[in-house]
Chains A and B, each alone.
Chain A
Amino acid sequence: MASIEFLILFLVGAGIIAYLLTKLNTIVGSIFTIFTVMFVFVSLAQYGFGMDIITTVKILPGISFSQSYLGFYFAILIVFIYLMVSFFHPYFIDKYKYKDSYNLLFLLSLAGILGAFYTNNFLNLFFFFEIIIWTTMFLIPQGKSKEAAVSYFGFSLAGSVSLLLGVFVIFNSTGTFNINDSLALLSGNSAVLVFALFLIAAFAKLGAFPLHIWLPITHGNAPDPFSPVLSGALVKLGGFIAVLALIKITPATVMFRAMDIPIGHYLVAILGGLTIVFGTLMAIKEDDAKKLLAYSSMSHGGYILVAFSILNSMAFAGGFYHILAHALASAGAFMAIAAVSRVTGTTKIKELGGMIHKMPITYLAYLIAIISMAGIPPMGGFISKWLIFQAVIDKGMVFVGVAVFFGSVGSFLYVFRPLAALFLGQEFTEYKHVKEAPILMLIPTFVLMGLNIYTGVFPAAFLKVINNIIVELGYTGITYTTYVISGNNGVLNPALISLVFVVGILIAFIIFILLKKSRKVELMDTYTAGNFIHDEHLFHYSTDFYAPLERLYEKQSHWMTTFYRALAEKVKELGKLGKYLFMSKSLSVTLLWIISIIIFLLWGEVL
């Protein structure tokens, strides 16, 4: 039997060992890390599904655990993403400045994640959140930009601070830090306040509008194997808080009768819709493949918010399924980009092309991941989006409905761009020597490919777990059989759809076999304008696909970045004002302060 306390201590201990091993030899340390994470994943998978994990605490002071389907769902998913990513470490870790500490911080942050999802105490939750933040914060500057860490830390800390304030408001009005007890006791104005504060935390961690600008900065500049963790795993912490806020707290706000949801939840849904739209629009514009995927994560965060703000089980199922599907898809996509970046050293779409010839498996992994992201069958993303669409249409939420569909269509537009420009298209001369990723990196690639498809074809296995969570949250589970999911507006038969796809692919394959084989030619073996070509110019331009569309909102796209930059400037100016007012070199200013304070005090009371 696995005890959660043991797992956490195991991770901390293993982290220290990994540090020492990495100091000796980076490869050994990284492989040790893989086995550590694997052990944790296997223990969780073995005992977690049946809620058989021991939660008693013997050593750790002041910490208590309990298990729930909700926490387990997030925990197993994130541990899985960590496991997948850890396979990449041996090939990347040598690139980093402080490589010794990389595995240590990686494992410590995983320990924090386990704790965060298994604790039943708000203060412990905050404790684990902060551990996750500062351990990961030191991982990020090892990538491209040092400022990315500050941006990440700033927004995450803003989220935590808001969460903690909410926790204290809860404590003040209910007198307990126990997560379930206190949320149940909460009522009145403090419930509204906590609702708002928790949502700020959720928005900040999820990278939802208007707290989103750290996502592209951080994802884009983090170390390549860490971006999938950020997008697939850490962002989901925001989803967890969103669940706490939106489902477990029920502030007594005015109801929208027509839609039968409270006005607070409706506002969240609208913000979620805006997040989807802005994320999509920004992703369409982005030239860096990682930043593009970061904006896509943002818009998917919007879907999660929309799903949880519609208070019915169909939407919840969609939300939870989307968390799963997006984690798998974005991990797959980011890891494919990481594999490319390892051999080419860049993630800019403009500087890449034709990677399919060298890295066909990576290409396939990326293709499957983006199909899932765009919500096209037969991948997991389709199932979750279908569930969310069902719920949104059921409630008749017009704006949100437009937004979710816009996001879905928009995903086609943007996820296709790295595919077309980075993997397809003309091969660049400087990348002639590159090879496919090594076998150890292909393992997680294949696993993720398989899962992306599996979640789309046989969702029943996952829906069973999700139904457990929904029941745990006090709603009735959704109806489904092994092959069919039923919604209010129709039924979905994922296996059948997939079958159609398979048949289609088979037919295409047969045609491919029967028809005459195409001849593979060298890049120079062609002519243009009646001449042979003598040097390898770039003749295939696959950037700026959507220039006319981009021009529509070119000016507006910087608004949020400008806003936050201006905010930081204003804070600085306030600080300078403070220096001017209080730190002046002139004695008179201080004396003036002293005298005014004394006079102010005496005015009312004595004089």
Chain B
Amino acid sequence: MNVVFLIAIPLLAAFISILIKKYASYLLVAVGLFNIAVLIFSKNGIVFIGGFDTTISANLLGITLLLDTYTRIALWVVNVLILVIAVLNIKTYRDYGSILLLAMAGLNGLLLTNDLFNLFVFLEISGIAAYLLSTSNKKPVSTFRYLLYGAIGSSLFLFGVVILYSMYGTLNMVVMIREISASNNYTEVILPFILMFIGLGVEAKLLPFNAWVKGVLGNSNVLSGPMIAGVYMAAMSFVLGRLVTNLFVFEGTLLTVVTLILVLGIVVGDLMAFSSSKVREILLFSSIAQSSIIILLFVNGLTIWAVYLIVANALSKTVMFLVINKATAETENDEVDSLKGLFVHNNIVGLTFTLAALSVMGLPLLVGFVIKLNYLTALAGAGQITLIAVILLASLIEGIYLVRLLVKLWYKGEKDLRVEYHFSFKMVFIAIALSLLVFGNYSTPLNELDNSIDTVSEVVNNG
């Protein structure tokens, strides 16, 4: 089946769902299942839209979509997670069906498209969906800030794209990569690259550009928390990762600056989490650090481990945010101390949360450990001992604050805390925790894929 459906059908359904508001959430589930079917039956390759010439050359017209294993993994993560989150919230957040459909269309387009301007369009569509999702927090000021940051970020991204267009006369990523490597003029592309990097960095939660995160995720709920910390972060990391791996040429000062930004993100992210006393803040700062690590891996060319890290992180953060946001919704207070003893009556939920946290920390028997050890080994092979030292130092801080959090959640405070988790929540938690555990122990399947899942460079070379 044609992967265009992944974008077109959710978009169509989003408009239809406004007309039939009552059934929007059912439509959403149906479209989610449809998307998964499309994913199963579609084939890898480039999709040309608009009936233009199908040779990839400098005067290529029309928008192309690229589906390869990299995109496929990303699409699986995004669509399945949106479906799961939608099903979990089918009763509580009825009105957000259309928005989730819009998010689905935007994120699928973002991941599939091979055209830089199109990328901007989908960035805005998914961005608008995200702003709307964050309105469910009932904190309009945070939402407004998010919108401002998002709009500035995408403007910068567009600025960069337009400069590139004026230099190379194309918007197609593949053609652009060819042209850039042919012209081999590094200094000229610094400005557009840093603009695009910053633009996507705003959405991918990289450090100096992500001040919106605190307001949005710090007040998130069962819908917006996992959507923005799990799904959006995964999708944005995938997109930024693809650009970093293929399009951006990071050399000299640019490489230094980008590495510095990311290292700063890792260290400061974990430091901020360490100094926080609110559960949601701890989680969101920890995910800032994680996303910086992910992009750092992309910058160093470790595509496959970055991809696994994105997936593992999206899964664990989804569990963690769901658990915590459900609890804070009932206690109306997200200080760690007021959630003491949360797991005393919820052993299963506690166990899954603990497993997810252990995976984030990168402790053995969980998939986080396998991934961490592998990317660190790869970094060591590349001689990046300083980066390893920074990552390990950050993981030390991370370990301490997460364990502190876990111990508090497991042991009772002054008052007895009872939070009811619906059966469907528990099922999701168990499924995710089991997958983290299984791949942590049986990691052979992870080794089957390697950096070649990203086929852009292949397309660039072979057409």
A and B touch in the complex (CB under 8 A): yes
Interface residues of A (CB under 8 A from B): 61-62, 97-98, 123, 126-128, 130-131, 133-134, 137, 141, 146-147, 149-150, 153-154, 157-158, 161, 164-165, 168-169, 171-172, 571-576, 578-579, 581-585, 587, 589-591, 593-594, 597-598, 600-602, 604-606
Residues of A within 8 A of B195 (CB): 598
Main secondary structure of the interface of A (DSSP, over half): helix
- Can you list 8 A-B contacts (CB < 8 A)? A127-B373, A130-B364, A131-B365, A165-B392, A169-B385, A172-B383, A571-B274, A583-B214
Q: Which of A62, A574, A587 contacts B145 (CB 8 A)?
A: A587
For the complex, what is the distance from the CA of A62 to the CA of B440, rounded to whole Å?
12
Are A141 and B407 in contact, CB atoms less than 8 angstroms apart? Answer: yes
A237 to chain B, nearest CB (A): 15
Look across to chain A and name the residue whose beta carbon is closest to the beta carbon of B275: A575
Q: Mark B132-158, 1 if CB is under 8 A from A, else 0.
A: 000000000000010011001000100
- Assembled-state Cα–Cα distance A165/B210 (Å): 30
Q: Which residue of A lies closest to B274 (CB)?
A: A575
Chain B residues 228-263 with CB under 8 Å of chain A are 252-254, 257, 261
Whether, in the assembled complex, B283 has its beta carbon less than 8 Å from a beta carbon of chain A, the answer is: no
Residues of A within 8 A of B169 (CB): none
A146, B274: Cβ atoms closer than 8 Å: no
Known: A61-B442, A585-B145, A605-B253. A579 touches B388 (CB 8 A): no
Contact A583 B211 (CB under 8 A): yes
Which residue from A61, A157, A598 sits with its C-beta under 8 Å from B194? A598
- Return the CB mask of B179-195 against A: 1 if under 8 Å, else 0: 00000000110110011
The residues of A that contact B408 with a CB separation of less than 8 Å are 146
Is the Cβ of A601 less than 8 Å from the Cβ of B194?
A: yes
CA distance A242 to B89 in the complex (A): 54
Chain B residues lying within 8 Å of A127, measured Cβ to Cβ, are: 364, 369, 373
Alpha-carbon distance A130/B364, docked complex (angstroms)? 6
- Which residues of A lie under 8 Å from residue B431 when comparing CB positions? none
Within 8 A of A (CB), among B291-327: none
A296 to B275 CA separation, bound complex (whole angstroms): 34
The 8 closest A-B pairs by CB, nearest first: A575-B275, A593-B208, A575-B271, A168-B380, A578-B268, A572-B275, A161-B392, A575-B272
Within the assembled complex, what's the spacing in Å between the Cα atoms of A130 and B403? 14
B69 vs chain A, min Cβ distance (A)? 23
Binding site for A on B (CB under 8 A): 145, 148-149, 152, 156, 187-188, 190-191, 194-195, 198, 207-211, 213-215, 252-254, 257, 261, 268-269, 271-276, 358, 363-365, 369, 373, 376-377, 379-381, 383, 385, 388-389, 392-393, 395-397, 399-400, 403-404, 407-408, 410-411, 442-444
Set of chain A residues within 8 Å of B381, measured between Cβ atoms: 171-172
Alpha-carbon separation in the docked complex, A314 to B257 (Å): 54
Extra pairs beyond A146-B408, A593-B208 (14, CB < 8 Å) = A61-B442, A98-B410, A128-B364, A134-B358, A134-B363, A157-B396, A168-B380, A573-B275, A576-B275, A578-B269, A582-B210, A594-B156, A597-B194, A606-B190
Chain A residues contacting B369 (CB-CB under 8 Å) are 127, 130
Q: Are A606 and B191 in contact (CB under 8 A)?
A: yes
Contact B211 A589 (CB under 8 A): yes
Given contacts A141-B411, A583-B214, A605-B253, whether A61 and B385 have CB atoms under 8 Å apart is no
Would you call A168 and B377 a contact (CB within 8 A)? yes
Contact B403 A150 (CB under 8 A): yes
Task: Say yes or no: A597 contacts B275, CB within 8 Å.
Answer: no
- Point out the residues of chain A lying under 8 angstroms from B389, CB to CB: 165
Nearest residue, chain A, Cβ from B383 = A172
**Within the complex, what minimum Cβ distance (angstroms) separates B398 from chain A?**
9
Q: Nearest chain-A residue to B256 (Cβ)?
A: A601
